[in-house]
Structure 1
């Protein structure tokens, strides 16, 4: 039994406690650990406005109408906040009148990081729709699956991606409107509506938007996450879920932004993909709500990324581990590159303290570096370090109004410094997986705790360190790659009898998929042939280039693939 005094820590944040700057901020005075071994947030509970996400984002528009809302890092094309508001509203009105989008209808967005992305997303919300975001690098095979699962009524993309969309519609045997965002003078395929024309039509009657009836508990965002080893599931996030998370990271002790005033505006790098929950909430929706300048980087290239940080005087960076490794080692990364950077937050996957120190040594000045932890299902932020924290290997305590449990295999609560699965309860936790009662049953305990599938340890102060994953998702450069998806594709090959996929360490990607394949009797097939067969159907980060042929796949009595056995035998 853990000594009782380990559960009676009055404050978790010594550095904050010692700072007079935060003397007026309310921090929970009771124990971080309860006697039942539940970790309470040390931060004050959040007040969640009874608004839709659309109204929440624009509620302070009158304070910064002329400020830059979003700008393209490559071309300089962008919008002020006033322009973004007007254009997104016209787009919304046209979605309802010309495309018959009704309250609760899903509209797919398959775009790279361009300054129009937030306008498209907010326009869908203004129309009463639900955003379902799609990776712009997806193949037609991947796109059609999400379009069918989300029951999308329209899709917004780029002209150059239209052929992929059309192929996906043919595969799915559905017919929905395609709307393209025109960025240059390149021709647009026939039969395609243009976002630019829909949003710039000054004759649009916006009064149709008065018909929208959406409440804070309604679904507004439908990203797809693998959740476990299986195929993607629709994560139902409500307006309240995302607003709660924005308010949680607004807490003065954890906030990484500054107030937008007549003399200051934060410049935030939009390098993380907007279709991913991390960037969607923490960059796009949140930063628009506080009037920051969002610098959109459409295509990642190391030199461009580093030059953009310097050119736009970026002071806030939201990144994932591969970017930290790059910033700490690339020859183009210098002290001058990061001279304006004040705050950096790492998410998507844990990072070693040594990697953090390497970056800070390159920057050569004081930077508030922190790590956060979250999931698509939690909107995403669950934990984040406070300002001034030097515990670079940890992800901090739970954010406001959030409780955590660290449990063993039998869901019994563990105590400080014991490793177990993280369970979460808070206003940012999703409503559930769309049309998937079995997945919901597996994801939530009977008393409403969300099972993350991640292993972690919490110290006496409730500070979390991520240890490993119970679920077997492969994290390639921070992107989720479900083994089951690749295994299913491998088994579609006429020569394959069975297959298993695991994640193995990779120097630049973090992890990479490795496949084990059992061929059918009498069949022959090369590693290259199988790789080409799978890779033609999936996005680049899911590519399988490492294949080992085996006689059998180890499985449990229940038929579950024993991936740990494969790792022990071959890795």
Structure 2
């Protein structure tokens, strides 16, 4: 097990060091591809069952990199993609890394009215789009003056096509040399969108060094591993999965189908067809996959037999999935991952922790240092709940053109405030409770952490999922009022019998002090989710006050 040291004199926790090499992400990728088996299957697009080899990716990457430079694209010129996943994205992204052009996978779920402001902020030199997003691009560019924009290219259309301008012109592959783009710690590789749980997303800047750190610091894998991440391309987990086949030698499975259009049955078939060993998803969706398996009794001995690791991230699973997967597929290791877009991927995971219930976090990954702080920025020690602050081997470069967010995030001494509340126990295991802004406040100023209630609510036999949200009381603005939102298991009716039994359960489980805040429960067909499939607690806040009284 990886050792994490508690440095008592500094009141910090330190994971083993991660060595940052002085090489750009693109140069590192090309070096790996050059010495890899050219016939090895690199990645597979499930939709068309198209298999791409190492040789194909290497040749397309070098071709696109040279032709981008021929078009005048250079270091620090930004390339913005309005696309979903497809066969051209990997080599195009690698090409941008190679020449030092930061990549932005645009948040395609944004309302059109917000697109111009983000384009102004990003100030791209090149825009690459799929035809399905053409109007989003053209409308967004109206009335804008972008002095650096030189090319708007289509991936699948006829005019100014990527195929013609970037993959078409012949390049001498073997004589190509990646340009020196400087310090990999300070040059952005990715301009990514945050998950927007409290409003419009911010744009983060992740360096070449940070993205490499994320790829190597992910799951334990070997060249026989088959990795599948079913998320949008703009998510950091998908961006990391995109470079792991190059740096780690694994095979990647992906789909161009948006996650909203996938079903548990489709994903189950994908895992079985491609013999996936490592599957990463958000809790809400992974559960639907295992529920399909639970109902598929006749295929039970065979389905998901290849799966070695099931990883979740994004938010807590409420303590339900671990026992659920252990019952259905005991050979599959369930791993929780705590990370954030600002550091590219995982900060801590439960991968090396022996079975230990309800840890949403785990052991710090290599290259991280952690500190817990109270609201006055005083350091806290083991078994004390505090604000989680971190330092990474490759520091976060900040939010693009957002001084306010940078001031709120960076703390004196170079610490990054995650905004999460957590605790580190005597074994140096990190547990994350919730975002600090989601806590409910008692009249005396102390906090009620939603997860502590949601975990036992989810154990009620008729409940599928839940969320506890608080807001100011409609009757007394100074008094917090909480509502538990629940989604029932399939086939369970929302009846008077359920309401009475659930009310009795809550009155038994909730402490008297908790009942001062938690006044109601409401049954929903489903919880609202953000475009990144996190529970949209801001949307739930508008529904607080009223419902079934506890």
TM-score by length of 2: 0.74
User: What is the distance in 2 between the residues matched to 1:201 and 1:223?
Assistant: 29
Distance 1:506 1:177 in 2: 49
Partner of 2:470: none
Distance between the aligned counterparts of 1:171 and 1:79, measured in 2? 41
- Map of 1:427 onto structure 2: 393
Residues 387 and 417 in structure 2, CA contact (< 8 A), matched pair in contact too: yes
Q: CA deviation at 1:85?
A: 1.1
User: What is residue 188 of structure 2 aligned with on the other side?
Assistant: 219
Matched residue, 1:3: none
Aligned mate of 1:101, from 29, 49, 73: 73
Partner of 1:447: 413
Residue 387 (structure 1) aligns with: 352
- Corresponding residue number in structure 2 for 1:343: 309
Q: Does 1:305 align with 2:267?
A: yes
Tell me how far apart the structure 2 counterparts of residues 128 and 570 of structure 1 sit (CA, whole Å): 54
Give CA deviations for 1:507-556 in whole Å, capped at 9, x if unaligned: 49xxxxxxxxxxxxxxxxxxxxxxxxxx9xx97979999989xxxxxxxx
Q: CA 1:40/1:213 → structure 2, altered by over 3 Å: closer, same or farther?
A: closer
The correspondence for 2:226, drawn from 254, 267, 287, is 267
Q: Give yes or no for contact 1:373–1:381 (8 Å, CA) kept in 2.
A: yes
Question: Is 1:114 aligned with 2:98?
Answer: no
Are the counterparts in 2 of residues 34 and 40 from structure 1 also a CA contact under 8 Å? no
Q: Is the 8 A contact 2:352 2:363 kept in 1?
A: no
Matches within 5 A, 1:468-479: 468-471=434-437
Could you say which residue in structure 2 is the equivalent of 1:168? Answer: 140
> 1:53, CA displacement in angstroms?
0.8
SS of residue in 1 equivalent to 2:21? coil
Report SS of the residue matched to 2:362: coil
Q: 1:414 aligns with which of 377, 380, 393?
A: 380
Equivalent in the alignment of 2:44: 71
Unaligned runs of 5+ in 2: 440-449, 451-481, 489-527
Q: What are the Cα deviations for residues 470-525 of structure 1, in whole angstroms up to 9, with x where unaligned? A: 24699xxxxxxxxxxxxxxxxxxxxxxxxxxx9985649xxxxxxxxxxxxxxxxx
2: CA distance, partners of 1:340 / 1:443: 41
Q: CA deviation at 1:149?
A: 1.1
- The separation in 1 between residues aligned to 2:103 and 2:536, in whole angstroms, is 30
Which moved further from structure 2: 114-123 or 338-347? 114-123
Distance 1:197 1:245, change over 3 A: same
1:386-432 per-residue CA deviation (whole Å, 9 max, x = no partner) reads: 33631253221211221111221111122222222100012244111
CA contact (8 A) 1:228 1:472 kept: no
- Alignment match, 1:90: 63
- Give structure 1 stretches of 5+ with no counterpart: 1-15, 17-25, 183-187, 250-254, 475-501, 509-534, 549-562
**2:235 matched to which residue of 1?**
276
Q: Which residue of 2 aligns with 1:316?
A: 278
- Describe the superposition over 1:180-214 as per-residue Cα deviations: whole angstroms up to 9, x where unpaired: 333xxxxx2x53x2223345425246778655534
Query: Is 2:220 the partner of 1:256?
Result: yes
From 205, 213, 217, the counterpart of 1:236: 205
Number of the residue aligned with 1:203: 170
1:290, distance to aligned residue in structure 2 (A)? 1.0
Measure, in 2, the Cα distance between the counterparts of 1:335 and 1:352.
28
**C-alpha separation in 2, matches of 1:362 and 1:389:** 19
Write out per-residue CA displacement over residues 250-279 of structure 1, whole angstroms, 9 at most, x where no aligned residue: xxxxx4211x2xxxx321113122211122
CA spacing shift, 1:405–1:227, aligned 2, 3 Å = farther
Q: Distance in 1 between matches of 2:357 and 2:88?
A: 35
- The 1-side partners of 2:63 and 2:483 are apart by 46
CA distance 1:224–1:337, shift in 2 (3 Å) = same
Within 5 Å, which residues of 2 pair with 1:478-517?
A: 505=485, 507=487
Aligned to 1:34: 8
The answer (yes or no) to whether the contact 2:61–2:94 under 8 Å persists in 1 is yes
Kindly state the Cα deviation for residue 243 of structure 1 after the two structures are TM-superposed.
1.7
Q: Look up the match of 2:334.
A: 369
Name the counterpart of 1:151.
123
Q: Aligned partners of 1:135, 1:442: CA distance in 2, in Å?
A: 23
- Aligned counterpart in structure 1 of residue 369 of structure 2, from 403, 412, 437: 403
In 1, Cα distance between equivalents of 2:136 and 2:271 = 32
- How far apart in 2 are the matches of 1:59 and 1:128? 16
Cα drift, residue 342 of structure 1: 0.6
Q: Deviations over 1:69-113 (max 9, x none)?
A: 121111112321111111022112222223x21210110122222
